[in-house]
Amino acid sequence: MIASKNSIVLCVCVLFIVLPFFGCRGQNTAVNNDYIFKNGDPNGIGKWYMGREISHVMGFQGIGWLERPEREKEENTSKLLLNMNIDINDTIADIGAGSGYHVFKMAPMAGKGHIYAVDIQDEMLEAIQTSKKKEKVQNITTIKGSSKSINLPEASIDKILMVDVYHELEYPIEMMTAIKKALRPDGKFFLIEYRGEDGNVPIKELHKMTESQAVREMQAAGMRLEENIDNLPWQHCMVFIKE
């Protein structure tokens, strides 16, 4: 049977509509709003945001790394906390607090305030609770976060600290929305990340961030870089405020 001219034209039109969908198969690439899913670094989760692949979360098995004796020398954590200009009455949240390395250093500095230790891993929160009882610290509260929220009340926090955690956030858009919401109007967000611009920093590339990448992502969240305090051995100390 010979197809009519109209039938042929109709078939060609259908092919132009359908082919783009089939052309995506086999590329291992998918797009979901602001996130892109594709193959990448073995240390990543195959999920990308603004050109950056998100890394795997360090599990509770890495507590020894967090509490390593040489950490003060490598990161100068004492200077980091001085950079935060902590007031005795401050309410501070440590997001991705891990074993509480920074939490227990901040607690006496904000002696009349309060420290919220937020983490998604029960084992990390249990480690903090154990240390809290052992050291008899009263102004620390552990909070179970989720991959999309820090689970803190709106406008309740003076300062938020996030040390080497942001690059692991599975949902950075949602988490930054929660962080911005929890900050008080004059609150500050201290984003600490290993310097991606520095090849001498002995950390895997996916666990570093450049200042320019961090600023792009924070601007998308409605946050503005107030300053990058450049006095730490390996890390950026970026201070962001609400736009």
What is the DSSP secondary-structure string of 45-95? EEEEETTEEEEPPPPGGGHHHHT-TTHHHHH-HHHHHHHTT--TT-EEEEE
Last residue of a domain, one of 29, 52, 75: 52
Residue 63 and residue 172 in one domain? yes
Residue 62 and residue 180 in one domain? yes
pLDDT tens digits for range 86-113: 999 999 999 999 999 999 999 999 999 9
Residue 133 and residue 148 in one domain? yes
| Greater pLDDT, 207 or 65 | 207
Mean pLDDT of 30-58: 91
Q: Considering its fold, how many domains does the chain have in total?
A: 2
| H/E stretch holding 64 | helix 63-66
Residue 15 and residue 78 in one domain? no
Question: CATH number of the domain that 212 lies in?
Answer: 3.40.50.150
Mean pLDDT of 61-76: 91
Cα 165 to chain centroid, rounded = 5
Residues 6+ apart with CB under 8 A from 181: 154, 155
pLDDT score at 128: 97
Range of the domain at 104: 57-242
pTM of the model: 0.86
Mean pLDDT of 165-181: 98
